[in-house]
Amino acid sequence: MSQFIRPKRFASFTAVACAMLALSACGGGDGDFYKTLDGKPPQIIAHRGLSGYYPEQTRMAYEKAADAGADMIELDMHLTRDCQLVARHNAWLADNTNIADVAKTNAEVAKRKRTTKGVLVNVKYPAKPENGPSQYLSDRIDPNDPASVLKPLVVDGEDHTNDWSISDFTMTELRNWIGGTTLDNRADRPTEWNGKLPIISAQDVIDIAVAKGKALKRTIPVYAEVKNPYWNNQQALANGCGTSGSANPFEDAVIALLEKNKLNTKDSPIYIQSFDPASLKYLRKAGMKAKGVQLVDGNDINYQDGSMLYITNDEWTFISGRPYSWTLAGDARTFATMLTPDGLKEIKTYADGIGPWKPQVLAHSVVPFKTGAGLKDVNTVKDTGLIANAHKAGLVVHSFTFRNEPGRLAGIYKGDPVAEFLTYFRLGIDGVFTDFANTGVQARKAYDKELGVN
């Protein structure tokens, strides 16, 4: 889901008991039952598997998520050097695999570390503070050589010099040499299986969903993210992937995956998500009929009034402030544009839902405000109206990312992750991405009890 977690940024935000919130619809006793778009229970989406307990995006993490009751299993997709879709969150490998340890004894892995620096490029929109930095970092170090992108490791403006690129390894090499690890909150999570479980492909995840669905006698949809599409396409083209004449081998591979698995229909048990509208629009134009979701990011929160911050004075403007394709096109708008009624109407032309960051659904603030206040001090949460507006536009809302760790919960929840889930459920959210599917299932049972649902 969200990009690499910035120190000031928290990818988990809160909700508290009904009595503590000034929300118009708290549920229970009114006979309305679920306030979701389709009237069905909110979906528990296992974010990279049961990643709160097991190395993310590994077979074990996905199988355990299904066993825990997750309705869907989520993955991120990149392209390997041999043009295969691999399940991995980041394009760089040092923070979510054991590759640094492997490189100590595997000379071939060690020599593939990318050490070339990127180059700064001037933005095309007006260079003024309210638009963010006037330059962004690029991996196109030689404008006349498309293959030059294979030397630096710069992903959508984010510098990862002295790391390893997923696009420098074949799928077989990734399976045989490298093991997955925990990523978010790794200091708080079990480490027993770190580095011991191989990286798997997107096809493997689909196969796991099918197999576990049969074993558990229920359908388990897959929720797949098209990660960093511009970067993946440039890497893929330099690696010789795709058909002649196509500038989008990454998205073409996604459509091929859908077709291979007979999942390219509106009712197929799969969602395709991306932060970049250009990628989703290309997929639609190229023939994707499966459900699509526009992810919506942000950079930080103004805890004084709960408003979202998108523009920063550093590279995070390009990473999480606006879709990267907008930066390249000279479009200075931010993700905030997508959350307006007109923005939601535009999204409906190419997608079936939105995936907002949690504080875009519930504004988080500290009242009275005190200088230096942070997530732990949040004592007020307020419905922004996003769910109601999205539903009015015919879009489902799946918000990210719900986590159990106390440091990821606003102070108003007093360390109880179930309270957070409940508040979003009461607002009518259609689904939640969580590293702890078991906790999400527990919270939904509590919500059903609150509503009197059998």
Instruction: Supply the DSSP string of 233-253, one letter for each residue.
Output: HHHHHHTT-S-TT-S-HHHHH
What's residue 32's pLDDT? 58
The residues of the chain scoring below 70 in pLDDT are: 1-32
What's residue 331's pLDDT? 98
CB within 8 Å of 320: residues ≥ 6 apart:
2, 3, 6, 9, 297, 298, 299, 310, 335
Residues 311-329 have pLDDT tens digits of 999 999 999 999 999 999 9
- Transcribe 163-216 into DSSP letters: B-BGGGS-HHHHHHH-BB---TTGGGS--TTTTTSB--BHHHHHHHHHHHHHHH
Residue 6 DSSP label: P
- Contact of 271 with 293, CB cutoff 8 Å: yes
What's residue 55's pLDDT? 98
CB within 8 Å of 257: residues ≥ 6 apart:
85, 202, 203, 206, 263
What's residue 1's pLDDT? 59
What's residue 16's pLDDT? 37
User: What sign does the CA torsion over 52, 57, 61, 66 have?
Assistant: positive
What's residue 367's pLDDT? 98
Confidence (pTM)? 0.93
Q: Is 47 helix (H, G, I), strand (E, B) or coil?
A: coil
Task: At 58, give phi and psi (nearest 5°).
Answer: -115, 165
What's residue 392's pLDDT? 98
Of 305, 77, 56, 287, the residue nearest 182 (C-alpha): 56
